[in-house]
Chain A
Amino acid sequence: MACRTIVVTSGKGGVGKTTSTANIGTGLALLGRKVVVVDTDIGLRNLDVIMGLENRIVYDLVQVIEGLCELRQAMIRDRKVEGLFLIPAAQTRDKSAVNLEQMKALCERIKEEIEPDYLILDSPAGIEQGFRNALAAAEEAIVVTTPEVSAIQDADRVISLIEANAGMRPRLIINRLRPQMIEEGNMMDIPDILELLAVQLLGIVPEDEDIIVSSNQGVPIVHNQERLAGKAYRNIVARLEGQEIPLLSLNSRKGIWDRFKKFLGG
């Protein structure tokens, strides 16, 4: 199987790019895939924390690029899942430390030396250098948004940049959805979001306090068989793998609300 290079991006910060990257990467590895996740958010690294690997960082992405260490030395093996590796970002540098060509070359090197099934790039927020680096190195794109007007507007901008610069058709994850709020008419509904953004929906992740807990503990929620958010990420992973899993929300709205409510204790 040839390696698929996927960038996870959003435009707006704080919508769940890094959480999604960690969960998708972990979920794919749980299915037996060999996965390398790369934190390209140089200067503001987070992915290592969410994956619970921050105390094991010795070398980082910038040091690999500058030739100060071997690629394998910077790769951190996950504690729980076989076949999952993290390349952390440098915390003491900034976005200008890496240029577009270097990022592309690094990804090529990972593909050649490590031969993973998936290479997942966690993009920084914004649409500047860091985002462009990650975008240039990827072949597929996942855009994460929340059902807020500002996040959707930023997602729209990012989708336009992805389509124009990289010629890719990105897929969408709607994160932190709160069914009760939609029901009350206080949040944009999924069909409205899809109508506006006009992209393929990869999945919907409900708001779940356990995601915060799991991020703090460094255990991605995809491990959790109980919570709906974990199931949502497992569905997303299955869809990435080409399986057709019905979306949680689009068919029967009533039934879904009830199910959501039950899960959320509403």
Chain B
Amino acid sequence: MQDTIRIRATQHGVSIVCDPNASIAELTGAIRTRLQSHAQFYRHADIKLNVGDRELETEDVATLREVLEKEFQLRLSGVVCSPDTLLKRFEREIGCAAEFPSSVSSVVRSDVAEEKPDPEPEIRFDDGLEETMIVRQTCRSGEKFSSPGSLVVLGNVNPSAEVVAQRDIVVMGVLRGNAHAGAGGNTDAVIIALALEPKQLRIAGHLGLPPVVEESHGRSGSAVAPEIAYVENNRIVLEPYTGRFPGA
């Protein structure tokens, strides 16, 4: 069965490919369900609507735009449609037959022909758990990042910042804030950080408070080593990370 919409990321950006036979209501419904779970992920992205052979009325575009922009804070940067659709629309507006000049026509049509098999590698974002979110900054106090898949932070996670992921969390820095891996209940999820000094660790339903080290507010001094946290026998275990996965 063909999906009502597919979300495609290519080198030209992200586009939503719409099933030409679906009604506008079906399309908005599909957009809502598909984007809802990843709203944070796509926020403020430029997005194109690929409507293929469908003839879109102005109101239809307005409806779709409203859903994308108002509900998901996306920016509709354009609509992609087939040349024939454009031509038909134009003919209707000017009230007589129209055609592309022969030179343009061949170019346009060969473009379409190429578009069909889609030579560009397709990344599918809509498989839920497979997506990884990369945060390229330090997560500061009060900031919260959540990923429907795994989460990688290229920076520190400071005290009172929160990182949440359905799967693993990897911090390429010091984790001092709160981390919750396996947020959907996945007990196989792990948390890895270059230095684990969290206030609180959570993996799936398990809560781990780090051992109370005698807290010195002076220099931590000692060489930091990467650590991994995972669930074993219903408890969160913390150990030096040597590149090996638990149980591997």
**Chain A residues engaging chain B, CB cutoff 8 angstroms:** 147, 149, 153-154, 156-157, 159-161, 182, 184-189, 191-192, 195-196, 198
Contact = CB atoms under 8 A, between A and B. Distances in A.
| Majority DSSP secondary structure for residues of A touching B | helix
Given A156-B159, A157-B140, A196-B156, 18 more contacts: A147-B217, A153-B158, A153-B159, A153-B160, A156-B140, A156-B161, A159-B140, A160-B140, A160-B142, A160-B143, A182-B218, A189-B217, A189-B219, A191-B219, A195-B174, A196-B158, A196-B176, A198-B138
Nearest to A182: B218
B159 A198 contact: no
B160 A156 contact: yes
Contact of B219 (A149, A154, A192): A192
B143 to A, nearest CB: 6
Nearest to A159: B140
B140 A149 contact: no
Contact of A188 (B142, B156, B217): B217
A187 B217 CA distance: 5
Interface of B: 138, 140-143, 156, 158-161, 174, 176, 216-220
Contact of B141 (A153, A189, A192): A153
A103 B215 CA distance: 44
Contacts of A153: 141, 158-160
B159 A149 contact: yes
Given A196-B156, A196-B158, A198-B156, A160 B219 contact: no
Given A156-B140, A159-B140, A198-B138, A185 B217 contact: yes
Contacts of B161: 156
Contact of B218 (A149, A160, A189, A196): A189
A95 B138 CA distance: 31
Nearest 8 interchain pairs by C-beta = A185-B218, A160-B140, A156-B141, A157-B141, A157-B142, A185-B216, A156-B140, A188-B217
Contacts of A156: 140-142, 158-161
B12 to A, nearest CB: 27
B160 A157 contact: yes
B160 A192 contact: no
A46 B159 CA distance: 31
Nearest to B216: A185
B26 to A, nearest CB: 37
A36 B231 CA distance: 58
A127 B156 CA distance: 23
Contacts of A149: 159, 217
B172 to A, nearest CB: 14
Nearest to A164: B143
Contacts of B216: 185-186
A201 B161 CA distance: 22
A18 B215 CA distance: 32
Given A149-B159, A153-B159, A196-B176, A160 B217 contact: no
Nearest to A154: B141
A185 B220 CA distance: 10
A188 B219 CA distance: 7
Contacts of B143: 160
A153 B178 CA distance: 13
A186 B160 contact: no
B156 A160 contact: no
A186 to B, nearest CB: 6
A196 B6 CA distance: 42
B159 A192 contact: no
Contacts of A182: 218
Contacts of A195: 174
Q: Which of A156, A157, A185, A192 has the most CB of B within 10 A?
A: A156
Contacts of B218: 182, 184-189, 192
Q: B141, B158, B159: which has the most chain A beta carbons within 10 Å? A: B141
A52 B142 CA distance: 37
B156 A186 contact: no
A147 to B, nearest CB: 8
A127 B158 CA distance: 18
A42 B176 CA distance: 35
Nearest to A198: B138
Contacts of B142: 156-157, 160-161
Nearest to B214: A185
A186 B158 contact: no
A236 to B, nearest CB: 23
B39 to A, nearest CB: 18
